[in-house]
Structure 1
Amino acid sequence: MSTLTPTPTAQVYELSVEVPQGEVIRYDLAKLCSALNVNDPTRIAVETDGLRRALITVYPSNPLGVVRAVTRADLVMDRHGRIVTGLYHNGRPVKKRLFDPSTGSAQRFLLFGTTGAGKSRALQLELIAEKLNGVCTWLADLKLGQSVPEADGQVDWYACSQEETILMLMAAVAVAQERMRRYSAAGRNSFALGGDPLLHVRIDEANRLLERGAPYRDLATHLIKELGRTGRSVGVGIGLSAQASHLEELGGSDTLRAMVKEGEVTLLRWSSSMMRQLVTDGLLPAGEQLMPIPKTLAPRELRSQFDPEPDHDEDDAPGTQGMGYLLSGPRPTAMMRHLRLGSIAPLPGLDPDILALYGDDEPTRLEDISHDVAGQAYAARTDEEAMAELCAAFHEAQQQKLNAGRGPGRSAATEDGDADDDGPSAPRKVRLDERVLAALADAEAPMSADDVLDAVHADGGREVKLGSVRNALKKLADDGTLTRAGHGLYAPA
């Protein structure tokens, strides 16, 4: 059953579709375009209720081809902790939550998109909003500062290297744990604006930190997971911007992925493999489709090979940077576009329009009481030479830990039990049972398998599964190396 309704806007039609009770609505985009005689899929917007009904809106041209510029008023939080970051295809505002005052929960943020999809500008909008709303922002720009250069000096901590990013994450975890102790002593079970500032840790180009082969991948994954566990109720949020949504791009951790996707998830232009992954990971309900976002809005025309060249140049067609979907919003399948920010054309230096939105005020700083727990790295964040020394020392310490088990000419068993001999200079791979014993030896009290897993991941070695840790604990307990100190608890014998 369907109903075609002309809208108040000329040449815009809305088709209401419903399938019989007991069936679930499905659609094929190509077939839908063919049935409606529409040769440009970006002119169609399809939204479903996930069950039986759908609204199909047909526009004369893509309604998001041009959007207005963002204003400071857009980026001021409303009473629900939301800011306006863009417009939906029907012109209604896209509202993203920076903070949830009803629960006192800091937010988690995930921003995905292919190269050139507009991730940096979308992130810059939120960074400006954080400054305007008194959020203390710690930002890691892992493109050596090239992604959001205007943010330097506009946030409390601006990092550009992987080593400094790890130091930043360590400091954030320490601040979250210190706040937890203070709030617990005061009888508080949630965060409220007006005391300690809301703290957001943002990692741009996070795939560089978390992809397979990254030097600090396991440690970074552990720290981000820890922030997700402890940060929400004490006003410490975490945000990741990455070029892909594959599990491997988020540290290979199901726990991390499940944690972050519960927050504000924005998807910009994507690849087909990314779409399959979104459905697999539950970010998009099975059966739902998103309208594809082309690289440009050039009209798709089928012309004879013998026709004269068209008057227009396809390269002059408007791009689609900033178009996407707010998957965590109330209308996850409605196409939107971020409000325009800064110059459209490339500039030789910092964008003055972006700097004007940031304003000249000092950014919000971390509360004084947490400076000590944030440590040397926080104190050295504006001292380039001191930070370089700290990063070099951290890198050296990690290398020493990695090389601790090396021995010339030795063949070692991997954690999966496979032999590995690459010659005289090959490092001995530390076995899982050795890592488990080291974790328990450093602990002040008996540990559960979950606690041991976290400690093992924090040592910078290879990530393992919980089942492997449990097997190692059982074996060590059975041979008397460990003792069972209680139900599910282990300690050195």
Structure 2
Amino acid sequence: MTAETVQPAALPDAPSTGLTPRTARRLAAAERVLYGAGGVLVAVGPHTDLLPLHAAALAAGAGTLVHLWRRTRSGGTGLLTACCRALPVLGLSGCYAAALAAPGAAWWEVVAPVATAAASVIAAPVTRSLGIEQAVAELPELVAAQGTELDVIAPAEDAPADVYEAGIRQMWAASSATGDTTLTDIHRADPDVPDFTAVVLAPVGEAVPRSLDERTVAAVFDVPLAAVTLAPVKGGGPGRQALRVTPAAAAETGQDDDEVRTLWDERVSGPSGVHPGMLLADYRLEEDRLVVLVQADEDRMVELSRNRLARALRVDDPELVMVETDGLASGVVTVYREHPLVHIREATRQDLTMGTDGRIAIGLRHDGRLARMPLYDPELGALTDLLVGAPGSGKSVLLLTLLAAERLSGVVSVVADAQDGMSLPEAEGRVFHFGKGRAAMGATLAALGAVADYREQVSAANGWGSFTLGDPWPLVIATLDEINRVLATDADAHQDFRKWVAGMISRLQLTGRKLGIGIRFAGQSIHLADLGDSDKIRSGARQGTVWLGRVNGSMTRRMATDMTSGAVEVTPIPRYFGAGGSSEVAAAWSGEETPPGPVTAGCAWLIQGGHPSMTRVFRAVKERRTYPGLVALMEAAPIPGLTPEETDVFRQAYAEALPYAEALMVGGEAATIDKAALVAELETVVDALENHRAVTAGKAPAPALTLRDRIMAALVDGPRRTREIRQAVGVGTDGGPASGSVDNALSKLADEGHLIRAGHGIWSRPQ
């Protein structure tokens, strides 16, 4: 309750200040004399050598500031009066301090204190503040003496009755929807306009009911819903609400505003709407779109469905409705006149150059913003990405766009195409490594695992716990295209081969982040059966990016929905623009054939951090079965490569793993040892026996130990971990074996019963 709320007509006499006129005049005169003397003192004092005078003047200002600081904690009238009284002291003390700091005697050093003293003499703030403080202190007693409450002050007998205000109170009291609440502090800015403000007051100790909302108030006074505003009273509790009813202002707003708000309130947020409680907080109507800011009611989580919103807002094609939410309480709904992603430009070198945050632009969002995707995260390190799309969805264009970005950004691209190189033919010869076929994909993973082992050993030797971009190694990203052809349970590959590939993928996902080795999967499905019955690929992608284009199976869409926060519905992407609306129904009714619209290739849900957004990849023009624009971008920079040491490790491991992968894919573990190998192994054993006899007789030198012998020798002293065995047999040294060869030898020795697994990654000899 403020003094302005009380109407003067309601009080017979003005409140007394508590000071007689004579006393007030005396105080004001004394105060003005002090200000005049202070002005003279401040004009002369700084030019003297009286140190006590200087200290006293500065201390007066400092003490006043401390007093004001203490008053700010209490607030209210005390702070107001303290500020009034402090202005002269602070002004004169400030002038004194400025004069002391300035050299010489300038003209302003006299004018400033004189002007400050003159203003203080005119205002007499101390005397006036005493009167204000006393008047505010006596106001509640005066109102209580009239026998009225602070919230409602009855008009005096001689004051004319406000018929409009009485009618408002009567309408409020007559409505059963208002309950036990009362309407107080009714105020109209213009008596000729029906707009008014008031305060809704609940009984003592109770809160204003939640059911008393804008819709209820609009019904009470029979005004448009847009004319009612309810908000908390600043500084008040839940027992009162500020109310504004402005039918005249709402009528001046325009018919368009009424239509939008009325449509939303009735068909979306109302009790019978598709999303009750999803309130329209604000909106803007542009030439090509309607953008609505949605705020969920206090007791609800935000929930917005594209299909339901399209139906409620009378939109024929749900693809024209886009939804963005924070998953908690707010969201943005955009309704377009035509699909915003039909026309899209080509990528530029600037788009595909990685920034300091590790991100590049791969296309556009529906609202025109750039759709960005990280190649690397400065905090997390290398990432795992998952790209899913049916044939013709634009997945290959996205992969080539990413490969061009990697080459422009100095990232080493290791590519394996399980479709024998047919999926990404433009990448061959334009990346560091390009493996064609399913066996090549396995060998590529084995070679990349060898590079990871090398980096791990060097990092451990130097005490490095994380990866630094370019110091000393470049970022490596492995792109595995058509991964379903390798891991799917119905793929034409032996189970042992699928298990071997899945194991290497799992290992790279676990260790690659800290070693600067990222991995990107591309396929037609993310169903577990198509990913080797392993959820590690899908779960690992949650730290990176999921690109979900047009897919054929509903199961994949449901799996993708599980990877989001659930606040936005991931709806299917049609093959053509405009095919998701009522055009087919109209054609069926009229009997006329409807030509298809442009294809939606490149459109996808970009899921990052559980948040999906509708995007489209930059356009790529195809000529003679290739994409010359993307090829030109790729060839605009040299091919990044590994360090010389890493290159040797990669090439050697790939050459050793490729024949093993080919045999394993066809016949499993048993086919990796053919008859020729068995004969050669028997001959080696025979030769070893002969050499042993010769050595025993002292006739020949001892032969070099095989890799299997060195592994068995390394385990003489007891169990060891895999990395310790690799180090013992010389992995990473000149002429030493590759880590993949050691891993294969360990598996074979375990299968033959020569070794046992004593734990996870721990090997030992049988007891």
The one of 85, 96, 100 equivalent to 2:377 is 100
2:620 is aligned with what amino acid?
Answer: L
Structure 2 counterpart SS, 1:7: strand
Q: Shift of residue 65 of structure 1?
A: 1.1
Does the 8 Å contact 1:200/1:238 carry over to 2?
yes
Specify whether residues 42 and 135 from structure 1 end up closer, same or farther in structure 2 by C-alpha distance, changes over 3 A only.
Answer: same
Q: 1:432-466, CA deviations, whole angstroms, 9 ceiling, x for partnerless residues?
A: xxxxxxxx999946489xxxxxx9xx889xxxxxx
Counterparts of 2:397 and 2:672, CA distance in 1: 43
Query: Are residues 1:38 and 2:318 paired?
Result: no
Deviation at 1:16, TM superposition (A): 2.6
- Report the CA distance shift for 1:304/1:404 in structure 2 as closer, same or farther (over 3 A): closer
TM-score, normalising length: structure 2: 0.50
Task: Please point out which of 292, 297, 303 is paired with 2:586.
Answer: 303
Distance 1:29 1:442, change over 3 A: farther
The verdict on how the C-alpha distance between 1:442 and 1:277 changes in structure 2, with shifts beyond 3 A counting, is farther
SS at match of 2:509: helix
Structure-2 separation of matches of 1:16 and 1:237? 38
Which residue matches 1:432? Answer: none
Which secondary structure state, in structure 2, belongs to the residue aligned with residue 492 of structure 1? coil
TM value normalised by structure 1 = 0.75
Q: Distance in 2 between matches of 1:304 and 1:200?
A: 48
**Distance (whole Å) between structure 2 residues aligned to residue 15 and residue 8 of structure 1:** 9
Structure 1 pair 373–60 and aligned structure 2 pair: CA distance change class (3 A): same
- Determine helix, strand or coil for the equivalent of 2:391: coil
1:39–1:372 Cα change, 3 Å: same
Q: Is the 1:447–1:491 contact (alpha carbons within 8 Å) kept by the matching residues of 2?
A: no
SS where residue 18 of structure 1 aligns? Answer: strand
User: Structure 1 counterpart of 2:647, which letter?
Assistant: H
Instruction: Structure 2 unaligned segments of length 5 or more: list them.
Output: 1-277, 674-710, 722-739, 746-752
1:278 corresponding residue in structure 2: 560
* From 318, 333, 336, the counterpart of 1:59: 336
The residue number in structure 2 matching 1:115 is: 391
- Highest CA radius of gyration, 1 or 2? 2
Q: Go from structure 1 to structure 2 and tell me whether the alpha carbon gap of 1:159 and 1:33 turns closer, same or farther (over 3 Å shift).
A: same
Are the counterparts in 1 of residues 481 and 521 from structure 2 also a CA contact under 8 Å? yes
CA-CA distance at 1:13 after TM superposition: 1.0
For the 8 Å contact 1:122–1:322, the answer to whether it is kept is yes
Q: Structure 1 CA distance, aligned partners of 2:643 and 2:489? A: 36
Residue of structure 2 in register with 1:411 after alignment: none
Q: Structure 1 residue 112: deviation in Å?
A: 1.0
Query: CA 1:243 to 1:485, structure 2 compared with 1: closer, same or farther past 3 Å?
Result: closer
Q: Is the 8 A contact 2:417 2:438 kept in 1?
A: no
1:89 corresponding residue in structure 2? 366
One of 238, 244, 265 as aligned partner of 2:546: 265
| Contact 2:440–2:658 under 8 Å retained in 1 | yes
In the alignment, is residue 402 of structure 1 matched against residue 670 of structure 2? yes
Distance 1:26 1:393, change over 3 A: closer
Counterpart CA distance in 2 for 1:400 and 1:290 is 40
Deviation at residue 114 of structure 1 after TM alignment = 2.1
Taking a change above 3 Å as real, the CA distance of residues 160 and 47 of structure 1, as seen in their structure-2 partners, is: same
User: What amino acid does structure 2 have at the position aligned with 1:284?
Assistant: T
- Deviation at 1:339? 1.1
| Greater mean alpha carbon deviation, residues 296-305 or residues 187-196 | 296-305
The alpha-carbon deviation at position 400 of structure 1 amounts to 6.7
Aligned residue in 2 for 1:125: 401
Q: Determine the structure 2 residue equivalent to 1:158.
A: 434
Distance of 2:323 and 2:559 partners within structure 1 = 21
Alignment of 1:310-389 (within 5 A): 314-315=595-596, 317-328=597-608, 332-343=611-622, 347-359=623-635, 361-376=637-652, 378=654
Distance 2:570 2:343 in 1: 20
CA distance in 1, matches of 2:506, 2:402: 22
2 CA distance for matches of 1:325 and 1:108?
17
Is the partner of 1:83 in helix, strand or coil? Answer: strand
**Residues 250 and 359 (structure 1), Cα distance of their counterparts in 2 relative to 1, 3 Å cut:** same
Tell me the equivalent position of 2:572: 292
Contact 1:485/1:491 (<8 A) preserved: no
Deviations 1:93-122 (A, max 9, x none): 11110112244x112111012222111111
Letter in 2 for 1:10: E
Q: 1 CA distance for matches of 2:765 and 2:368?
A: 61
1:468 aligns with none
Choose which of 348, 357, 363 in structure 2 pairs with 1:71.
348
Taking the aligned partners of 2:320 and 2:400, their CA distance within structure 1 comes to 28
Partners of 2:663 and 2:672 within 8 A in 1: no
What is the DSSP-based 3-state SS (H/G/I as helix, E as strand, rest coil) of the residue aligned with 1:110? Answer: strand
- In 1, the alpha carbon distance for the partners of 2:342 and 2:293 equals 24
Cα offset, 1:296, TM superposition: 0.2
* Partner residue in 1 for 2:444: 168
Could you tell me how far apart the structure 2 residues matched to 1:352 and 1:56 are? 38
SS in 2 for 1:37: coil
CA contact (8 A) 1:4 1:13 kept: no
The DSSP-based 3-state class of the residue aligned with 2:520 is: strand
Query: Could you say if the C-alpha distance between residues 255 and 30 of structure 1 is closer, same or farther in structure 2, counting changes exceeding 3 Å?
Result: closer
Question: Mean Cα displacement is larger for which, 43-52 or 249-258?
Answer: 249-258
Q: Partner of 2:463: helix, strand, or coil? A: coil
Alpha-carbon shift at residue 320 of structure 1 (Å)? 0.7
> CA separation in 2, counterparts of 1:19 and 1:400?
57
Letter in 2 for 1:277: M
Q: Which position in structure 2 is the counterpart of 1:238?
A: 519
- Compared CA separation, residues 366 and 42, structure 1 to 2 (3 A): same
Q: Cα distance 1:27–1:272, how it changes in 2: closer, same or farther (>3 A)?
A: farther
Structure with the larger RCO, 1 or 2 (CA within 8 Å, 6+ apart): 1
Q: 1:211 and 1:193, CA in 2 relative to 1: closer, same or farther beyond 3 A?
A: same
Deviations 1:361-409 (Å, cap 9, x if unpaired)?
Answer: 431112111233224355x6xxxxxx9xx7445423663733599xxxx
Q: What's the offset of the Cα at 1:286?
A: 3.6
Aligned partners of 1:60, 1:443: CA distance in 2, in Å?
72
Give yes or no for contact 1:484–1:491 (8 Å, CA) kept in 2. Answer: no
**Residues of 1 paired with 2:634 and 2:307: CA distance?**
43
Distance 2:464 2:587 in 1: 72
**1:471 is matched with which residue?**
none
- 1 CA distance for matches of 2:333 and 2:668? 60
Q: State whether residues 228 and 260 of structure 1, in contact with CA within 8 Å, keep that contact through their aligned partners in structure 2.
A: no
Deviation digits for residues 16-58 of structure 1 (CA, Å, limit 9, x no counterpart): 3333323223344433211100110110001222123222111
Alignment of 1:479-490 (within 5 A): none
State the 1:137 CA deviation.
0.9
User: How many angstroms apart in 2 are the aligned matches of 1:219 and 1:79?
Assistant: 36
- Residue 489 of structure 1: CA displacement? 9.5
Change (3 A) 1:217 1:305: closer
Residue-pair matches, total: 414
Cα distance in 1 for residues equivalent to 2:352 and 2:544: 19
The one-letter code sitting in structure 2 at the alignment partner of 1:297 is F
Distance 1:484 1:159 in 2: 36
Per the alignment, in what secondary structure is the counterpart of residue 143 of structure 1?
coil
Match of 1:138 in 2: 414
- Measured after TM superposition, the shift of residue 8 of structure 1 is 6.3
Residue 356 of structure 1 deviates from its aligned partner by 0.9
Checking the alignment, whether the CA contact within 8 Å between 1:45 and 1:291 is kept in structure 2 is no
Structure-2 change in CA distance of 1:174 and 1:143 (3 Å): same
